[in-house]
Amino acid sequence: MKQLLQDLKNGEILLEEIPLPSCGQNEVLIKTERSLISPGTERMLLEFGRSSYLQKAKQQPDKVKMVLDKIKTDGLMPTMEAVFAKLGEPMPLGYCNAGTVLEVGSGVSEFKVGDRVVSNGSHGEIVVVGKNLVAKIPDGVSFEQASFTVIASIALQGIRLFAPTLGESVVVIGLGLIGQITMALLRANGCEAIGVDIDQGKVDLARSQGFVALNPVNGEDPIAFVSRHTNEIGVDGVIITAATKSNTPLEQAAEVTRKKGRIVAVGAIGMDIPRPPFYLKEIAFYISSSYGPGRYDMTYEEKGIDYPIGYVRWTQNRNFQAILQLLANRSIDFGHFVTHAYPFEQAPKAYNEILNNRDALGVVLEYPNEIKINMEDKILLPLSNQNQMASEVGIGVIGAGNFTKLVMLPILKVFDVKLIGISSAKGLSSGLAAKKFGFGYSTTDYKKLLEDTAINTVFITTRHGSHAKLTIEALEAGKNVFVEKPLAVTMEQLADIVKCCRRLANENRLPKLMVGFNRRFSIFVQDIYRQIKGRSGGIAMNMTINAGVIPKTHWVHDPLTGGGRMIGEGCHFIDTMAFLAQSDVVSVQSIALDSDKTLPIQNDNVIVNLVFKDGSIGTLSYLANGNKSYPKEQMSLFCEGKVFELDNYKKVNGYGANGIKKWSQNKGHKEEMMSFVENIKSSKHNLISLESLINTTLATFAHVRSLEENRVVRIEEMEKELFSTL
């Protein structure tokens, strides 16, 4: 199947072949019939993509600041490599889709195969969308009309915030597609809508529908008009649907709005709020967020959990339904907004239209009625540039996220390995990665990698909660496993892994198992280890992690999906200290900042005290309340008259010992993967022992328990709990 993408480096529009997406538990697989190009958002993306690097930087000063902060902490080359790799990743376009249901997930009862639906799916022949972002099309509503539903819901959500009442007068600034729809919806609410735009074509379109519309460029002063029209009272409010960096729309809105009126910003505009008119008139100001409540909420969009209608009447899905009902009742009609229609195969031409023709408003893509759908397309997408390197290590990769594409695959590509297959649930990321790095094929069915006899080694880089299940399946299939940290996020998952490893070991068929604890392989950590190797006593370590804030709604905080940040990432640093001590953790005591205000598993500001079997001690300060310009990772190590200061994996200051400094940051990823590949070829033992992997995982679980129960937790207690289930 084909999907429409944009290359952010040069703005080129691409039609790429990708595998058929997998349909998840709470998802709907849809064959697209029509999709609508958003003339505002997608024109902006086109212009951004076709701008120079300098112009891109000027348009995103916040991102530039992030890059500068990263250069300070991580160095120039790693930062620039990350930036250019990100720009080199094509992005899917579109969010207004109408089509027919092909398949529904096991958790979906609202739809069935054959239903006509709208969704926020992208421009692709087949899309997969969470069920709360899908709504049925009523009988009598065409796919073309229905394709306007999602963009119309953006207008509707702005109106919901405005809360119009019958008879009110409202100015709409910006008469693009969302502005035109806003005018129509205001009329349906019994309001008088007055449009303002500097594009005469948009003004004429509004007038053709019976609206009052003004063009300030032609000398039609909206402030003077509103003053005359309302007897100097002002309109009840303004909805701004323009997209501009200028502050003029907000200033005009404040001038024309009556005392105690309200202003809603739907479009992206200048936000320098003029205090005098807002203060004197006590104007209420709102910013509308996309299609309504539920947007950007993982629980709603990914898990399919709806908000109770008694508490949230108008969610994004119910906004979709409201638009569709208005279409079914003939209360609104989007037909006159359609200015162009193109076959999907001519999508690049359609994008040139919206870029070069300012009168292009509703540009619809039409998809073939007959698309050969072979469910085997979910499985394999053979590529012409297969990696033909002869190697005894045949690799399959499950997961194709940013870490995989930006860090892991560039390293593996140059090793003596054969990159055979890569999978991702939606197919896009794995398809692009397969093409870029020379895999033999991509797939949306990871089980095909486990069945492939040419693959003897599997890399797992999916979300944390799936690691244990995939690790067990891969080991059972006889594959060596490299799983990104963490190994498991619950005691039950860890027990399942241990049971699997024990059984396979007893059957003399246990493959290699490695967890991605790369820090211990860093040249800096390795150098410190060599200098303290002959010690006679314990060591004292203090690691400070300037972790940065991750929103509480992010999947990493979910106990089952991500495990929380300490289980998901803190295990890195516990492993590093265990390596330097060459000893297991025996007890954990953790304390959290403001622990009474935050759930322990979500607490990002903690100090963890570790005691090791050999008498060594370690303190891990994992903090999210710092500043990005401060280095992310620091460590001090004290040992028998020597002190080492590790500075963000760029240098080590040695006191009574040798230091080391490199031009670029080295966190050990390359050395780790090289060691793992060599370990597969030449050793019978794991690179990191299973006992050590279990100990580190249990230490993270002990950390959570220590926070919950406010006490020291001994690892032997966690071991008893683990082994009682075996």
Examine the pLDDT at 42 and tell me if it is beyond 90: no
Strand 212-214 to strand 192-196: parallel, antiparallel, or no bridges (unpaired)? parallel
Q: What is the DSSP string of 14-32?
A: EEEE-PPPP--TTEEEEEE
- Domain annotation covers residue 371: no
Longest dimension (CA), the chain: 91
- For residue range 114-127, list pLDDT tens digits in order: 999 999 999 999 99
* C-alpha 301, offset from chain centre: 13
Residue-wise DSSP of 53-83: HHHHHHH-HHHHHHHHHHHHHH-HHHHHHHH
CB 342 within 8 A of CB 350: yes
Number of H helices, E strands in the chain: 26, 32
Q: What is the pLDDT of residue 716?
A: 97
Banded pLDDT at 256 (limits 50, 70, 90): very high
Asked whether the bond before 274 is cis by omega within 30 degrees of 0, the reply is: no
Residue 594 has a pLDDT of: 80
Q: Residue 509 sits in which domain range?
A: 376-515
529 and 664 housed in the same domain: yes
Residue 382 shares a structural domain with residue 362: no
Examine residue 382 and say whether the peptide bond preceding it is cis (omega within 30 degrees of 0). Answer: no
Q: What is the pLDDT of residues 298-324, one digit of tens each?
A: 899 999 999 999 999 999 999 999 999
- The pLDDT-based confidence of 612 (bands split at 50, 70, 90) is very high
Written as six digits, the tokens of 327 are: 């279409």
Residue 398 lies in a domain: yes
90/208 same-domain check: no
What residues contact residue 439 under an 8 Å CB cut-off, 6+ apart? Answer: 383, 386, 387, 397, 419, 420, 421, 422, 433
Is the same domain home to 215 and 123?
Answer: no
Torsion of CA 264, 267, 270, 274, to 10 degrees: -10
pLDDT of residue 53: 65
Question: What pairs with residue 3 in β-bridges?
Answer: 16, 124
Q: Which DSSP state fits 307?
A: P
**Contact status, residue 32 vs residue 98, Cβ threshold 8 Å:** yes
Q: Is the pLDDT of residue 671 over 60?
A: yes
Whether 359 and 274 map to the same domain: the answer is: no
- At residue 678 the predicted structure's pLDDT band, cuts being 50, 70 and 90, is very high
- Sheet with 513-515, side-by-side order of all strands: 381-382, 441-443, 418-423, 394-398, 457-460, 480-483, 513-515
Segment 430-461, tens digit of pLDDT: 999 999 999 999 999 999 999 999 999 999 99
- Record the tokens describing residue 691, joined without a space: 């006992």
Assigned domain for 61 exists? yes
Kindly state the tokens that stand for 106.
């096991």
Q: Which phi and psi (to 5°) does residue 359 adopt?
A: -85, -10
Asked if the structure places residue 548 within a domain, the reply is yes
Report the C-alpha gap between 126 and 373 in whole angstroms: 9
Across 331-338, average pLDDT: 93
Give the up-direction half-sphere exposure of residue 97: CA atoms within 13 A in the CB hemisphere: 27
Q: How confident is the model at residue 463 (pLDDT cuts 50, 70, 90)?
A: very high
Residue 383 is predicted with a pLDDT of 58
Q: Does residue 250 share a domain with residue 348?
A: no
Residue 129 sits in the same domain as residue 209: no
DSSP, collapsed to helix, strand or coil, labels residue 309 as coil
Q: What is the DSSP letter of 521?
A: G
Supply the mean pLDDT for the chain.
91
- Report the chain's C-alpha Rg in angstroms: 29
Q: Are residues 577 and 666 in the same domain?
A: yes
The whole-number average pLDDT for the span 87-93 is 79
Q: Is the pLDDT of residue 595 over 70?
A: no
The answer, yes or no, to whether residue 426 has pLDDT greater than 60, is yes
DSSP strand E in 604-719: where? 606-612, 617-623, 633-639, 642-647, 651-655, 660-661, 713-714
Based on the domain organization, do 176 and 281 belong to the same domain? Answer: yes
Mean predicted confidence (pLDDT) in 472-487:
97
Of the pLDDT bands very low, low, confident and very high (cuts 50, 70, 90), residue 283 is: very high
- Predicted model pTM: 0.86
Kindly report the CATH number assigned to the domain that includes residue 457.
3.40.50.720
Confidence class for position 357, pLDDT limits 50, 70, 90:
confident
Q: Which pLDDT tens digit goes with each residue over 499-523? A: 999 999 999 999 999 999 999 999 9
Q: Please tell me whether residues 590 and 606 are part of one structural domain.
A: yes
Last residue of a domain, one of 515, 536, 561: 515
The predicted pLDDT at position 684 comes to 84
Q: Domain boundary residue among 317, 344, 366?
A: 366
pLDDT digits (tens, 9 = 90+) for 208-221: 999 999 999 999 99
Please check whether residue 124 lies inside any domain of the structure: yes
Residue 12 or 182, more confident: 182
Residue 68 pLDDT > 80 = no
d(CA 294, CA 110): 17
Q: 44 or 234: whose pLDDT is higher?
A: 234
Return all residues near 389 (Cβ < 8 A) that are at least 6 apart. 416, 417, 418
Is 712 within the bounds of a domain? Answer: yes
Does residue 687 belong to any structural domain of this protein? yes
Q: What pLDDT is attached to residue 628?
A: 85
- Say if residue 203 is in the same domain as residue 265: yes
pLDDT per residue as tens digits for the range 571-582: 999 999 999 999
pLDDT of residue 359: 85
pLDDT given at position 474: 98
Average pLDDT over residues 649-663: 92
Note the pLDDT of residue 487: 98
The rounded distance, in Å, linking the Cα atoms of 621 and 607 is 4
Query: The domain spanning residue 652 has which CATH number?
Result: 3.30.360.10
Pairing mode, if any, of strands 97-104 and 660-661?
unpaired
Mean pLDDT for 82-94 is 75
Q: Residue 509 has what pLDDT? A: 93
Which residues 6+ apart lie within 8 Å of 626 measured at CB?
A: 546, 547, 548
Judge if 139 and 186 occupy the same domain.
Answer: no
Percent of the chain with pLDDT over 70: 91
End position of a domain, from candidates 471, 498, 515: 515
pLDDT band for 41, please (50, 70, 90 cuts).
confident
Domain count, the chain: 4
Mean predicted confidence (pLDDT) in 153-164: 97
